Amino acid sequence: MKETPAGSSPDSEKLLFQAILDNAPIGIWFLGLDGRLQFVNKTFCAAVGIPEKTFLAAKHYTEVLPLNDPAGSTRSDAACLAQEGPHQSLEWLTFADGKAHMLEITRVKVLDQEGSPRGLIGLAVDVTARNQAEERLRLTAKVFENTLDAVTIADSEGSIIEVNEAFCRITGYEREDVIGRNPRFLQSDRQDAGFYKSMWRAITASGHWRGEIWNRKKDGDLVAEVLTISAVTDADGRVSNYVGVASDITQLKQHAKQLEHIAHFDALTDVPNRVLFADRLQQALARSKREGSIMAVCYLDLDGFKLVNDTMGHEAGDRVLIEVTRRIKDTIREDDTVARLGGDEFAVLLQGLHASEECMASLNRLLEAISHPIEIKGKLFEVSASIGVALYPGDEHDADTLLRHADQAMYVAKQSGKNRYHLYDAANDRRARSHHEFLKRLAVALVRSEFELYYQPKVDMRTLRMVGAEALIRWNHPEKGVLLPGEFLHAIEGTTLEVELGDWVIATALKQLDTWRKAGLPLELSINISARHLQANDFSWKLKRKLLRYPEFAMGSLQIEVLETAALEDIPRVSDTIERCRKIGVGFALDDFGTGYSSLSYLGRLPVDTLKIDQSFIRDMLYDKGDRAIVQGVIALAKAFERKTVAEGIESEDLFRALLEMDCEYGQGYGIARPMPAAELPAWLEKWNSAPFS
């Protein structure tokens, strides 16, 4: 007979054993051969919310236990009794919390002294959390392998420990080629050492970096990527890994480059077209103002070209245009520009001149080079050029006026006998005095509150819901009536009145926003700001002071539109101003997008929220395949750079539908609504909501 330790008894040992079983962190039971439970611990009873006496009173545990698969449980019991060793299974059971839990159940057969089965012991462990963790790991692995972006995982020293299939597809390297290597072997010569130092400074400071990068594939080709690098830290805050996720944007870059070329270069001669020339003219004008140098705008029209077309056909005419273009390019300097404006008309921009005599010498060389005979199909043809010239600063006007003056001077040269040049006479005191008087009148108009903002609605193209409006200035002239911006704004360019009127626009727009907010009409309002005003050193400071007057101002409800060409004049300064304004809740849109020479290549450097597609591309897109392709490309580019798109100049419902199919987000134009005073907006909105395009 077994001895009982001093101070204990069989009953106390039994109670101790019972306490151990009841407090074990797993479910424990003993099942007889008849299916009745002869013992079940408290842990299991508490988990399922069934009292012990209910279990013990039941003829079979499946009568009271909420098993998801009772038949499966009884089969597992039978299998355990039929085999030699323990039996394991995974079974779902609804707990007292009402949720299904996965249990890992181990069944052990119990034998009597003769070796006959007496029943079985059940041990149940809740593995729900473990199962969920394993599922998440499996899902993560599946996502890792199936994502279209290249994923690289490196250790804290920068050595690659894993890459996914997309990495191999994009770079051409197999997994075995890169494991253990530092990703710097992918570097191309497109970025210098300073670029990578800046990148790692950002990762060290903030834990991540995102930007565009050019890498080199295994076959030597370059691949453009949008790359995000994130530092992964352990529980102690130390970097344990680096994760890089890269999207291949090579085709997008190529497409953008093609779009840029189509939009800005003449298809026949491959020199800048009118749009690009206008942009370069603006830049040259700004340069001349900064440097105090002379700039010449030359307008060329070929003499005798019609004879070539009429006698030899258009193919011969094209050859003449190509040859004349080559001669002009060979004659002018590298910094100068030649553009084909259309037909047999060209424009030449001579900049950085220090004396008018330099211009005359260049013009004489141009006349001589163009007048040399051109051989076509064995015949010699002679063409010449009539050239009109406008000089800056002698001709104190904006870029458009300079080109128009050069055009007028060209007609004088042609009427004077052709094969010559003529300088536009800018000495016009009467016009200068008239301009000065006009500026004075504009200043008086501002004091007398003769200016007013009209509002052109902007709608969500999918929901047709009005989401905002663009504020457009009007001059309520006492004698001439309502004047549009084009009739007076050009006169104030470069003057202090330009900033003063811009400040008035901002103040008026904020007041109107507050009025709409109080009326339960929360809208986004866009305003136009000139380049000179935006580039003022105190612009963001003054804007912040104005916003302080409206404590209920909604972040993002005011958007400033900047002309693309103006933004590109001084990208660092404009970007810095935009960033400061964004911090105080003011958004930015790039207006007339697509008309600027550097628009696509510099888009990533301008922190704007929205791209407004220039109406010159929208207007004829239903009939002009080139315009349609440009619009589609701009929309795709905007999405790639995570910018919103607004189509301006929507004149018809057909244009609206076509843009909607292209996935353009917002639209405005006369086909939706003309600009109107603020008082008329509620009535228009009610009509629009009930019957759009009616």
**pLDDT tens per residue across span 537-561:** 889 999 999 999 998 888 889 999 9
pLDDT at 602: 66
pLDDT band at 1 (very low <50, low <70, confident <90, very high): very low
What is the arrangement of strands in the sheet containing 239-248, beginning at the earlier edge strand? 160-163, 150-155, 239-248, 222-233, 208-216
Residue 190 backbone phi and psi in degrees, to 5: -75, -25
What is the arrangement of strands in the sheet containing 337-342, beginning at the earlier edge strand? 337-342, 345-353, 294-303, 384-392, 420-423
pLDDT at 503: 93
Distance CA 67, CA 640 (A): 52
At which residue do the structure tokens 């008035």 appear? 504
Residues in the chain, total = 694
pLDDT at 596: 57
Which range (358-362, 424-428, 442-446, 511-515) has the least confidence? 424-428
**Largest pairwise CA distance in the chain:** 140
Q: In the chain, where does the domain assigned CATH 3.30.70.270 lie?
A: 257-427
Mean of pLDDT values over 301-319:
87
Comparing CA positions, the residue from 576, 572, 610, 574 lying closest to residue 592 is 610
Distance CA 413, CA 300 (A): 10
pLDDT band at 84 (very low <50, low <70, confident <90, very high): confident
Does residue 57 register a pLDDT over 90? Answer: no
Find out whether 663 and 632 touch, Cβ atoms under 8 Å. no
Comparing CA positions, the residue from 119, 82, 122, 121 lying closest to residue 104 is 122
CATH 3.50.50.60 correct for 432-689: no
pLDDT at 568: 63
CB neighbours of residue 84 within 10 Å: 5
pLDDT at 598: 45
The highest-confidence range among 219-228, 239-248, 670-679, by mean pLDDT, is 670-679
Buried b (16+ CB within 10 A) or exposed e, 373-383: ebebeeeebeb
pLDDT band at 432 (very low <50, low <70, confident <90, very high): very low
Does residue 395 register a pLDDT over 60? Answer: yes
Does residue 637 register a pLDDT over 90? Answer: no
Find out whether 528 and 561 touch, Cβ atoms under 8 Å. yes
Q: What percent of the chain shows pLDDT beyond 70?
A: 93
Q: What percent of the chain shows pLDDT beyond 90?
A: 32
- 3-state DSSP call for residue 562? strand
Does residue 51 register a pLDDT over 70? Answer: yes
Mean of pLDDT values over 293-308:
90
State the pTM of this model. 0.42
pLDDT at 595: 66
Query: Residue 389 forms beta bridges with which residues?
Result: 298, 423
Distance CA 355, CA 317 (A): 36
Q: In the chain, where does the domain assigned CATH 3.30.450.20 lie?
A: 18-131, 147-248
Distance CA 160, CA 96 (A): 47
Q: From start to end of 603-649, where are the E strands? A: 610-613, 644-647
pLDDT at 17: 74
Mean of pLDDT values over 412-437:
73
Distance CA 518, CA 234 (A): 50
Which CATH code fits 147-248? Answer: 3.30.450.20
Comparing CA positions, the residue from 536, 609, 611 lying closest to residue 576 is 536
- DSSP label at residue 62: G
Find out whether 452 and 440 touch, Cβ atoms under 8 Å. no
Question: What are the CA-CA distances from residue 410 to residues 295, 341, 363, 416 (Å)?
Answer: 17, 14, 13, 10
Q: And the tokens for 564?
A: 């693309």
CA torsion sign, 282 to 283 to 289 to 295? negative
Which residue would you say has higher pLDDT here, 208 or 426? 208
Mean of pLDDT values over 79-87:
89
Q: From start to end of 344-486, where are the E strands? A: 345-353, 374-376, 379-381, 384-392, 420-423, 451-460, 466-477, 481-483
Which range (14-18, 120-124, 182-186) has the least confidence? 14-18
Distance CA 461, CA 661 (A): 10
Radius of gyration of the chain (CA): 39
Does residue 25 register a pLDDT over 90? Answer: no
Q: And the tokens for 316?
A: 């011969």
pLDDT in tens, 322-341: 999 999 999 998 889 999 99
Comparing CA positions, the residue from 303, 421, 291 lying closest to residue 361 is 421
pLDDT at 375: 85
pLDDT band at 427 (very low <50, low <70, confident <90, very high): low
Comparing CA positions, the residue from 106, 112, 103, 115 lying closest to residue 86 is 106
CATH 3.30.70.270 correct for 257-427: yes
- Find the DSSP H helices in 416-472: 429-447
User: Which option is the CATH number for 18-131: 1.10.150.120, 1.10.3720.10, 2.60.40.2310, 3.30.450.20?
Assistant: 3.30.450.20
Q: From start to end of 249-293, where are the E strands? A: none
Does residue 647 register a pLDDT over 90? Answer: yes
Find out whether 457 and 686 touch, Cβ atoms under 8 Å. no
Does residue 142 register a pLDDT over 80? Answer: no
Question: What are the CA-CA distances from residue 64 to residues 53, 56, 89 (Å)?
Answer: 11, 10, 20
Mean of pLDDT values over 644-648:
93
Which residues touch 30 (CB under 8 Å, ≥6 apart)?
37, 38, 39, 40, 110, 119, 120, 121, 122
pLDDT band at 530 (very low <50, low <70, confident <90, very high): confident
Distance CA 206, CA 233 (A): 12
Amino acid of residue 594: G
Indicate the helix (H) or strand (E) that contains 524.
strand 524-528
Mean of pLDDT values over 165-188:
89
Provide the mean pLDDT of the chain.
86
Amino acid of residue 218: K
CB neighbours of residue 68 within 10 Å: 13
pLDDT band at 431 (very low <50, low <70, confident <90, very high): low
Amino acid of residue 1: M
Which residue would you say has higher pLDDT here, 595 or 376? 376
Q: For residue 171, how far is the Cα from the chain centroid?
A: 25
CB neighbours of residue 140 within 10 Å: 10
pLDDT band at 501 (very low <50, low <70, confident <90, very high): very high
Distance CA 233, CA 442 (A): 62
pLDDT at 447: 92
Distance CA 601, CA 49 (A): 67
Amino acid of residue 231: A
- 3-state DSSP call for residue 208? strand
Question: Which is it for strands 294-303 and 345-353: parallel, antiparallel or unpaired?
Answer: antiparallel
Q: From start to end of 289-368, where are the E strands? A: 294-303, 337-342, 345-353
Mean of pLDDT values over 248-273:
84
Which range (26-35, 250-259, 488-497, 606-615) has the least confidence? 250-259
pLDDT band at 116 (very low <50, low <70, confident <90, very high): confident
Which range (65-74, 116-125, 298-307, 627-636) has the least confidence? 65-74
Find out whether 374 and 380 touch, Cβ atoms under 8 Å. yes
305-312 vs 314-331: helix axis angle to the nearest 10?
150
Q: And the tokens for 356?
A: 């008018």
Mean of pLDDT values over 411-420:
86
pLDDT band at 396 (very low <50, low <70, confident <90, very high): low
